Amino acid sequence: MPHVLVKLWPGKSEAQKQELAEEITQALMRTLESSEASVSVSFEEIDREQWRETVYLPEIMGEPEKLYKKPGYTM
């Protein structure tokens, strides 16, 4: 039962989010051999001003063992 939470800055359209959710679903089905019914995808918009404190420090820098793709930026 994979669930993916995508955190991103506000400003992406509903169509973009829907397209990304479908791409993520297809990748999970292909890679993890999941059924479509078992996959869920959600989005959480985080303001740019809050990104460092809300995402970058606690989740990217604070839990490097969980990170499978590192960002190409620093804050």
Residue among 12, 46, 9, 6 at smallest CA distance from 28: 6
Task: Point out the catalytic residue in the list 2, 58, 64, 71.
Answer: 2
- Give the pLDDT of residue 59: 97
- Give the pLDDT of residue 10: 98
Residue type, 14: E
CATH number of the domain residue 19 falls in: 3.30.429.10
Catalytic annotation present for 2: yes
Tracing tokens 């499978």 back to the chain, one arrives at 68
Q: What is the pLDDT of residues 65-75, one digit of tens each?
A: 999 999 999 99
What's the length of the chain?
75
The answer to whether residue 46 sits within a structural domain is yes
Neighbouring C-beta atoms of residue 17, cutoff 10 Å: 16
Q: What is the pLDDT of residues 28-56, one digit of tens each?
A: 999 999 999 999 999 999 999 999 999 99
The answer to whether residue 73 sits within a structural domain is no
Tracing tokens 């994979």 back to the chain, one arrives at 2
Q: What is the pLDDT of residues 7-26, one digit of tens each?
A: 999 999 999 999 999 999 99
The answer to whether residue 49 sits within a structural domain is yes
Could you give the number of structural domains in the chain? 1
Asked whether 5 and 42 are in contact (CB, 8 A), the reply is yes
Domain containing 43 equals 3-66
